[in-house]
Chain A
Amino acid sequence: MSSSTSAKQAAPASTRAKPANKAEAAADYLDGRLGIYSLAKANLRKIFPDHWSFMLGEICLYTFIIIILTGVYLTLFFKPSMGEVVYNGSYAPLNGIKMSEAYASTLNISFEVRGGLLIRQIHHWAAIVFVAAMFVHMMRVFFTGAFRKPREINWIFGFLLLFLGFFDGFLGYSLPDDLLSGTGIRFMEGAILAVPLVGTYISFFLFGGEFPGTDIVPRFFTIHVLLIPGVMLGLLVAHLILVFYHKHTQWAGPGRTEKNVVGMPLMPVYMAKAGGFFFLVFGIIAAMSAIASVNPVWAYGPYRPDQVSTDAQPDWYMGFAEGLIRVMPGWEVRAWGHTLNLGVFIPLMLFPLVLVAIAVYPFIESWITGDKREHHILDRPRNAPVRTALGAAWISLYLVLLSGGGNDLIATHFHLSLNDITYFVRVGSFVVPVIVYIVTKRWCLGLQRRDKEKVLHGRETGVIKRLPHGEFIEVHAQLPQERLHTLTSHEQYEPVELPAETDENGVARKVGLVTKTRAKLSEGMFGEGSQIPKPTVEEHQEITSGHGHH
């Protein structure tokens, strides 16, 4: 008897109820080690709002996963070496030609490894879609004001991902050591040499001596497959943790406030939709890779510094850097035995600045508004005309520079003079964004006016009525309360005013330059001419109850 009690003491039964089935038992096991129940409690039925534009971020995530999966496959076959070999494979036109192992193994992946060409194409296509999706996703966040507190840091994470994505794309493009990629690396060498003081040193250290040397492909390989993807993975996880923690933003609408989030639960709807969407994206990219060839390196031949193919074009996302370098006049300053190559150095500096302009925007805006509150309801782009116009102007600058980067293609396709396009881009980079800014802002204000009209006078029904005294009118229908609420719930800032010249005691106040600038900017953003005051309840009542309403 005593022995049985002591056995019981040694292994007391768990107080937990018996699991109903194997799955519950397995979950219990994991909970005892990982604490999964507490983790899942808050998240299993976590609410995700639904809007088509939220899938843009998902595309970024899924293409990133596809890039990693296919990238790992490619590393199994690719030889990142500049060792020289004579090609002897199934692509007859290049047989007997000397090339680097990197290029030869790329040909091998494309022609001998079964499915290798497909994976290469998926890798490249996914990279193109990845950068494009990051761009559009970022625009979505920008134009809806989703970057405002508490999400500014996540905006920066996203920006860094875009920047690194650009860079890793360029490095990946350079690895096969074909004629086109070699030309891209030469471009990079020229750009580095243009850096004053240390340019030649950086170039010699990067290339392990004179251009092109034999070190560059293995070095780029390590950076392309290990360093940058590692950093990006970390940023991505941080980005997603913050998305999860902040919860999604949502559009204004009935029942939606700053203090709630309305949508479908993670399990099952969101899981099925998001999980399914991954396969949709992967499937489409696989099909694209089957029918549309991208970067057919075998057509270019191996790299030789004294040869070039005529349509030397980088991937589109590098196109605006290419545009900057093409339209820049060839300014060179020579003094005291030194050369300052401004024609290359200025574009080299402008390239990141055009991007950083977007990165710092959230901080500038919050400084101007002085708003320290959290925002979870999205702005309709029309309700923030200055922000929307700035974004549109930035995009137009990007497109103008991109067309500068493709000036040779535009010239041959549309039979235009190449020089004219370049001159246009030189002027256009300054003029077009200004025009786009003005047009967009006016357009937004027009839309605001139309919203106001709708709220006050109702919606046009298309029904024409004849009044007893003979006049024809169109019948306007009152909007339902849901619409009225949605159209009037947005916030409107008032411009900051400078404090009075003198304080209560009549002593002159010192107003600093910073305060003055801020007041000016705030006036520009929210002053008269930058927003249409939204309709008030009184206005609405007066019109709906009064006479003369038709």
Chain B
Amino acid sequence: MSHDMSDDKLPQAHDASDAHGDVAVTDNPFADPGLPAHQPRRTDIDERAAKRAERQVSLMFLVSMLATVGFIASYVAIDPDKIVYIFPLGHISALNFALGMTLGVALFCIGAGAVHWARTLMSDVELPAERHPIEADDEVRADVIEQFKTGAAESGFGRRKMIRNTLIGSMALVPLSGVVLLRDLGPLPEKKLDVTAWNEATPAAPIRLVNMNTDEPLKAEDVAVGSLTFAKPGPSASRPAGLQESDEDFQQAIAKDALMLIRIQPDDIKDANSKALGFEGVLAYSKICTHVGCPISLYEQQTHHALCPCHQSTFDLSDGARVIFGPAGHPLPQLKITTDASGYLIATQGFNAPVGPSFWERSA
């Protein structure tokens, strides 16, 4: 690759007239005429105008002082719970409003005063200053390179190859200790993402579906056609009281175990597999979106579409929760449900696929 090929294509450097201030007396109409003469401001020539500007600046600083006093007074006097109506802001905290406005005025006036002072009373004569090239000249460059070479030669770094190579090797490896030390940040994933509390359910030891809001076990007739019912796992061997909000690991558990139940006329269910997993048209799907894991909360009863509010993945619940729009990559997992002797909805096995967002090890 030749760099030099373009050198003559670079634009010409500027006209040599960088002796600013000189009026170019060439016949070149585009030449730099130099810095324009300074135009005095009103305050430069009229002492009365200057005095007025001075008073304006002081007034702003004075307002700032008053505002700070107002800030302290508001802090002491206004009850934090007090709500006031201010048009057009509506009902807002009186303390927040008073503190913010007084602080705002106190700060703004200092700034406005300083800027006004600079603009009206300080000199506005523009001055030129020389720039110096950033790059060192050739002599300095040669000198430094020479010094470096001397240093490098004295270290023997280039000559003693074995030292050099082992040094590079050790430096390359030593940061690994830092990476290894991060290992205990958390446990290994193992199969944890594949299982939920529902996996504990067996035909011999089923788990009841418990209404999320009422904490009561659900019967099939509790699930109305066209409504969305949220459920969580009831008592199981490892959690005899069922999943409770007071449980220490409630957040982790509910992030995987949450169910949404809907009821569809059995004839309207398009997917035979999905129909078989339900009970008389009651279907239990994971509430956790398979995209990146938001809980799904919007259900359209006419179409049986469920919409995730985060990125609008839309699932057709009458067709095995197939994705019909949006960025999710696979259907919502479904839970096989039936009823026990007393008519309560129960699960006898886990979800038909891992719940939540996809991950590398996910096989289903």
Question: Could you tell me which A residues sit within 8 Å of B by CB distance?
Answer: 46-47, 50, 90, 98, 111-112, 114-115, 117-118, 121-122, 150, 183, 186-187, 189-191, 193-201, 203-213, 215, 245-247, 254-265, 268-269, 272-273, 275-291, 293, 303-310, 312, 322, 325-332, 334, 337-344, 369-371, 373-374, 376, 407-408, 418-419, 422, 455, 481-482, 484-485, 488-489, 491-499, 512, 514-515, 518, 522, 537, 540-541, 544
Contact = CB atoms under 8 A, between A and B. Distances in A.
5 contacts: A213-B252, A215-B186, A256-B20, A264-B126, A322-B311
Given A343-B291, A485-B30, 6 more contacts: A114-B95, A208-B186, A283-B110, A492-B11, A493-B9, A518-B1
A260 B22 CA distance: 14
Contacts of A276: 110-115, 117-118
Contacts of B105: 283, 287
Which of B14, B133, B328 has the most chain A CB atoms closer than 10 A to its own CB?
B14
A77 to B, nearest CB: 14
Which of A150, A257, A515 has the most chain B CB atoms closer than 10 A to its own CB?
A257
A306 B358 contact: no
B108 A280 contact: yes
A304 B81 CA distance: 28
Contact of B330 (A211, A326, A327, A332): A332
Contacts of B294: 183, 186-187, 308, 312
A339 B363 CA distance: 6
B173 interface: no
B100 A287 contact: yes
B53 interface: no
B99 A304 contact: no
Contacts of B9: 370, 493-497
A518 B124 CA distance: 46
Interface in B120-150: 122-124, 126-131, 133-134
A518 to B, nearest CB: 8
Contact of A204 (B188, B251, B362): B188
Which of A121, A187, A255, A269 has the most chain B CB atoms closer than 10 A to its own CB?
A255
Contacts of B28: 537
A240 B20 CA distance: 28
A306 B213 CA distance: 12
Nearest to B361: A200
Nearest to B330: A332
Given A259-B130, A515-B1, A272 B117 contact: yes
A262 B327 contact: no
Given A255-B128, A265-B127, A305 B254 contact: yes
A370 B3 contact: yes
B20 A312 contact: no
Nearest to A272: B118
Contact of A540 (B2, B30, B89, B133): B30
Interface in B254-299: 254-256, 258, 287-288, 291-295, 297-298
Contacts of B110: 276, 279, 283
B332 to A, nearest CB: 13
B93 A117 contact: yes
A255 B21 contact: yes
Interface of B: 1-3, 5-7, 9-15, 18, 20-21, 24, 28-36, 75, 80-81, 89, 92-93, 95-101, 103-115, 117-119, 122-124, 126-131, 133-134, 182-183, 185-189, 192-193, 212, 230, 245-246, 251-252, 254-256, 258, 287-288, 291-295, 297-298, 309-313, 323, 325-330, 356-363
A305 B95 CA distance: 34
Contacts of A408: 309, 312
B96 A117 contact: yes
Contacts of B293: 186-187, 189-190, 211, 305
A269 B330 contact: no
A517 to B, nearest CB: 10
Given A255-B35, A484-B29, A329 B327 contact: yes
Given A121-B100, A272-B114, A499-B5, A307 B35 contact: no
Contact of B104 (A246, A290, A326, A341): A290
A193 B357 contact: yes
Nearest to B78: A114
B103 A344 contact: no
Given A115-B75, A194-B359, A283-B109, A482 B36 contact: yes
B93 to A, nearest CB: 6
A284 B358 CA distance: 45
A56 to B, nearest CB: 16
Contact of B7 (A206, A284, A370, A498): A370
